[in-house]
Amino acid sequence: MEDLKEQFAEGKAILIDKPLDWTSFDVVKKIRNNIKIKKVGHAGTLDPLATGLLIVCTGKFTKRIEHYQGLEKEYTGIIELGKTTPSYDLETAFDKEFSIEHIEEKNIMDAATALTGEIQQVPPVFSAIKVGGERVYNKARRKENIKLDPRSVTIHEFEITKISMPEVHFRVVCSKGTYIRSLARDFGVMLESGAYLKSLRRTKIGEYSVDDADDIDQFIKTLNNQ
């Protein structure tokens, strides 16, 4: 047991399949408390309502966090058409409804194509970006008026894998800094309707796959039983 913990304390990259409703920091905290070292961090936040691959670095591997953050990401998920929320996902309640009767399969495919490549994207106001030294989600929860500037991101692939109206299933490969929630919102606008991100799973970070990741509870159990 001590040998394994010592290895992680010295430095490793751990692939974790983040559970639903956990924050990325929840995973870091759980590992930190079990290895009993302070030097633990993750390489790219996943929202609580998203699942999938989270790279957690310990010890000297925390120096590699920036490298992992810069790698391209792959996600799968579901966009639901015809409704919007202020957070662009299910963190907040629905605020508007739109018609989807005019939307055909070709429109959906064309919208995905139009949103592929280098695009300008406005981050969600319910995000961890700092403005004036404060996370903007705190300002958003106080219903303050927030204006975020668009950022250049690259959508390498935007594949529609299934259409079951009003749900559109997708796979996206994208650059660092991409908000899939904002992509869902823009997708709805492109279709002259509304949309929000119903579910999201990160499947890859660079060459690292969620297929090789550990369940957090199983990882802690292994850590404590060897």
Pick the closest to residue 19 from 225, 213, 222 (CA basis). 213
Consecutive H or E run containing 50: strand 50-58
Helices in 37-169 by DSSP H: which ranges?
65-69, 105-114, 136-141
Active-site annotation holds for 47: yes
Specify the amino acid at residue 224. N
The full DSSP string for 160-206 is EEEEETTEEEEEEEE-TT--HHHHHHHHHHHTTS-EEEEEEEEEEET
Catalytic residue among 3, 17, 21, 47: 47
Tokens 């309502």 -> residue: 49
Residues 154, 183: contact at Cβ < 8 Å? no
Q: Are 31 and 5 in contact (CB under 8 A)?
A: no
**Token pair 């055909």 is at which residue?**
104
Side chain identity at residue 101, one-letter code: E
Task: Say whether the peptide bond before residue 166 is cis (omega within 30 degrees of 0).
Answer: yes
By annotation, the residues acting in catalysis are 47
